[in-house]
Structure 1
């Protein structure tokens, strides 16, 4: 209602407000890559001049070792690249900051000690949540182990919270997001399922909302989720689209009040939702993932009223999808790439990628899709109504973290290294 009031009284102010609360929610001007799936929260970038081919001996500006075991994706702000990390046993959690120009480590700081780390699935890590960064501050999140806000110049911890319980059971995965002055966190575990909004300046709780979901089971393993939410605006209503186990819920991001929900059979949702201005697209997780296209204009339970289509074939459980020019592109966990018509859900093409396995989400930039796999190969192809591969670039180690883009560079994290990749032919 406040946004509508501004629209009637102050058109110029309203335009700025809409820009800040639109589907893209750009919290940092490019070339920053400030959060999981980048400045538009959808894996896309307006960057140009990016490399198409590389190897360990070609187009590598720098390669910096990063200690520990962590699947979080890198974030970039100005001349800094940040990643979280963890000891393999999960007893020490920290951050590493690297100079974008040189690859030199600027900060290597332990944030939390953990006396009794929780069990994680062998495919997960104790630091899989991607940080979110803005001018002067970075927010790091390790699920129930804790959340902290750091000064990006000094790496000094400005505030921390370690009082939100959750048995993640197979490890945490959801990444924090920022909306206005709020840092929003999701906890979907075996025992507790809720969302928290903190004042990003102080860390004080603004609101907390327990999930109102009929799970249909007492098995906590089927109540988990790993997805990162996003904020959209549709018909003047700003919504926090929050995938969980068994349902996706739309909330008022300022209060936590629920607008609507729709149900599905799956659990452990991990994909970040997409939005095209008319429909949201939600992957439902494990237990044979589905992809739902849903109109976000409803109230209450909209399962039978606002779902436009459902697709069951080739839907990834872990990697998120891409939406480009009315086409949906995705690569499932077993390496099958699929293109769907976003309006109808109809399959356009399908391609098997040499029996590779995928966890990282593909990105789109410079007219190309980049898709790194767990065996160390990043395939580069052109989005369109037929599959057209440009390159398959092999590095020594596999990739679980998603790529970041900064300027004309790709920032890629493998199991033990951080790379800056850029076309060196013009230099």
Structure 2
């Protein structure tokens, strides 16, 4: 979900739902799925060469999955040969356990793509081949698994399923893309089906959903092959859809919740739109749209406006209320992924530049940067900030950097 920005922090927290407490980063894009954390007392400038690397772990295999961090243990996935593995790593870089979960994605850009979701003493993963599995967090024992593409007559997509599942209450939500099961809710304890959406007939589109709780409803928002979708999370009723064509059917950016019934959606080649909805979710109004921030899969955050990178390699800052472009320049050497903590942006380019950026009212200022040299393959895993540490995954290697202010 979203990592957070002041001065709207208290408002956004009221708009949020979360399955963890404290500063744990328990799922993709953080505790509120917005790429942001409430952590403070972090370095406002890095030393030459970057912050101190505390440790690195090699042996993850191929993958672009980010990490989840809960109670001092880091969880992620990787593919070794053709098999997917779930890793638990102590926060000193030592392996706690490693568990096999079956075949992984071996098509274009092979490797794992989804981040584990931690909920209490369980964790949940979705493979690039559409298999969802639940494990015991402490020992790594398998509890249940479901092949969602087979069970719901779904079809895999060009670059493999890339959705990090969402947990709310007793439900786990995912998007197998079946004819009458584009989105489904499973019982998180057993894997049994609770509901499926009817009539959407859209494939998955690499998007991880969010939940927005109002006084009247718990609403699920996501993007699928050709649509923006709002669903009643209690029963799977589709409340409304918005046509949303994207380049190569890629809608990989997690929607961003904002206060007062607003959600921002953006995607590759199409750009973004801000919508508002009533508390019962029965309708929507488009407040503004803009092609400026047509993010591929690096995510967006809210800190002095909407911030992220566009498809042309620019880093972009927009006014959240109007969509007006504040900044749009090639701040780094490529587009990339973004996270936010302590009023600063952590920008990780696809060419391996990791940067600390200050968002100002008149644009973004590059403060510090250095190159990630460990690991191989694409620099696609999103940065994670937790307990004064910055976690970066690059292919086979996971690194932990000390960013706590002394």
TM-score tier (shorter): 0.7 to 0.9
Whole-angstrom distance in 2 between the partners of 1:229 and 1:75: 17
Among candidates 167, 175, 183, match of residue 178 of structure 1: 167
User: For the residues of structure 2 that align with 1:251 and 1:47, how far apart are their CA atoms?
Assistant: 32
Task: Choose from 371, 376, 392 the match for 1:394.
Answer: 371
The residue that corresponds to 1:366 in the other structure is: 342
Q: 1:343 to 1:414 in 2, by over 3 A?
A: same
Superposition map of 1:88-127 within 5 A: 91-100=82-91, 102-112=92-102, 114=103, 120-122=107-109, 125-127=110-112
Runs of 4+ in 1 over 4 A off after TM superposition: 54-58, 298-302
Superposed displacement of residue 374, structure 1: 2.0
Contact 1:310-1:345 within 8 A present in 2 as well: yes
State the match for 1:5 in structure 2: none
Give the equivalent residue in structure 1 for 2:273.
Answer: 292
Q: Give the whole-Å Cα distance in 2 for the aligned partners of 1:231 and 1:140.
A: 18
Instruction: Please give the TM-score of this superposition, normalised by the length of structure 2.
Output: 0.87
- Structure 1 unaligned spans of 5+: 1-18, 216-222
Q: Distance in 2 between matches of 1:54 and 1:156?
A: 42
Task: Determine the structure 2 residue equivalent to 1:14.
Answer: none
How far has the Cα of 1:425 moved from its partner?
7.8
Residue correspondence of structure 1 range 22-421 to structure 2 within 5 A? 23-51=15-43, 52-53=45-46, 58-87=51-80, 91-100=82-91, 102-112=92-102, 114=103, 120-122=107-109, 125-165=110-150, 166-188=155-177, 194-210=182-198, 212=200, 223-234=203-214, 236-266=216-246, 267-278=249-260, 279-285=262-268, 288-297=269-278, 306-325=285-304, 327-358=305-336, 361-385=337-361, 386-397=363-374, 399-421=379-401
8 A Cα contact 2:105 2:129, kept in partner: no
Q: What CA deviation, in whole Å up to 9, does each residue of 1:395-421 have, x standing for no partner? A: 204631111222111111112211111
Contact conserved, 1:97 with 1:108, CA < 8 A, in 2?
A: yes
Q: What do residues 149-204 of structure 1 show as CA deviations (whole Å, max 9, x unaligned)? A: 11111111111112533322321111101011101111248x89611111111111
Which whole-Å CA distance do the structure 2 matches of 1:374 and 1:337 have between them? Answer: 12
**Residue deviations 1:78-122 (CA, integer Å, cap 9, x gap):** 02101011135xx2111111101x11011122111x3xx666333
**TM-superposed deviation, 1:54:** 6.1
CA gap 1:119/1:187 in 2 versus in 1, 3 angstroms: same
Mapped partners of 1:194, 1:140: distance in 2:
18
Q: Is the 8 A contact 1:334 1:355 kept in 2?
A: no
C-alpha displacement of 1:137: 1.2
Shift of 1:393: 2.0
Cα 1:347–1:57 change in 2 (3 A) is closer
Q: CA deviation at 1:255?
A: 0.9
What are the ranges of 5 or more consecutive residues in structure 2 without an aligned counterpart? Answer: 1-10
Q: Give SS of 2:356's match.
A: strand
Whole-Å Cα distance in 1 between the matches of residues 306 and 119 of structure 2? 29
Distance 1:393 1:255, change over 3 A: same
Q: Which residue of 1 aligns with 2:4?
A: none
